[in-house]
Structure 1
Amino acid sequence: MKIRFLILLTICFGCETKTKEKVSKANETKEYNKAKIETENKKIFLGDVNNDKINDTAFISLKRNLETDEIECGGKNCVINVTFSKNIPEISFDQSLGLVIMKTEDLDNDKGNEIIIFSRTNEGWWNNIYVWTLKKGKWEEIAKTKGFISENKDFENRIIKEKKHFYLIGENQWKENKNGEFEKVKSRI
């Protein structure tokens, strides 16, 4: 009789352990599916972009999954829209993980101001770097390259002037120089 009782207890406790294990796995799945989403709203003061003598602002809004650092798209294409103040048209970017926007000087001698945009990609520290100009109420991309951005100083000195021409400076992600640094690339503006 004692042996039968011990066998019965072993079976009961063995089954209960398996049940608890299944419940734990179910709870982990539920926790995993509850993604921590944060809405990022950025307001970037640019100065006077459209030459109306009033300072302009860019607005970026996106939803980021804090656990994966991915942009939440809600089943649509991942597009980030940049809207501006005072009747300036918006600019859209596909497959971007975030944007940094800065105003630059007049680079194409059209008496207008240009902006430089750094768009984070899925390729680690690499950013697509664009220069856009506002002409006749429409944005036009006038230069594009890739850049390795790992520190704040990597945003600086991306536009240089040589002789009478401006160039957007980037890096070639497939070629390194003898010092092990990415080779510089110049795109004429």
Structure 2
Amino acid sequence: MENLSKIKREHMLEFLNKLRDEHGDDDTIIAINEIESALTSKKYGLVWEEHIERVDEKIKTNVPVFTEVEEKEILADPSLSYNFLLEGDNLHSLYLLEKTHKGKVDVIYIDPPYNRGKDDFIYNDNYVDEEDNFKHSKWLSFMSKRLGIAYKLLNSDGVIFISIDDNEMSQLKMLCDSIFGDANCIGVIIQNKLNSKNEANCTIKLAT
């Protein structure tokens, strides 16, 4: 069975190559390259409008560093391997851990914002409400950066557990498949709870 989308795309790329041969000025070449990039970009899976976080901009000029707070020292047996509690912006912290713990982590558990549109998700210092037309793409931009680094932190036998509800479950599953590989998804654990209004809530742990 022929892939019609692929055939159309190949015809358009051939036409772009003809235009590239006929028009050699810089502006036209730049425009053609941008169109070609769009035509050859991802055609299956999760696609969203990418957004830049302010923390991304800060990292360009302000490199985060570890600073020990001695009065918050976690006392333990000095003969054993020590643990530490890292406090700070989660993206800053992940970038630091990538430098010190890349490929060394056994288990990661995260409980990200559920993006319910009810003051549970802050993006660039503003709450993302249910009327925001880009609420899903903002959430995906937020998550993709952090999960991308989490993937680098895990060792070859590592596992990540993610709590989420049905607001972003389908998006999260596709995002994890693209980062960790769909063959590495162990499964979904559904936990049913009853809140004070006797409404069923669903917490899902995605193990990858």
TM-score bucket of the superposed structures, by smaller chain = under 0.3
Whose RCO is larger (CA < 8 A, sep 6+)?
A: 2
TM, length-normalised to structure 1:
0.24
Q: Give the greater-gyration-radius structure (CA).
A: 1
Q: Which has the higher helix share?
A: 2
TM, length-normalised to structure 2:
0.23
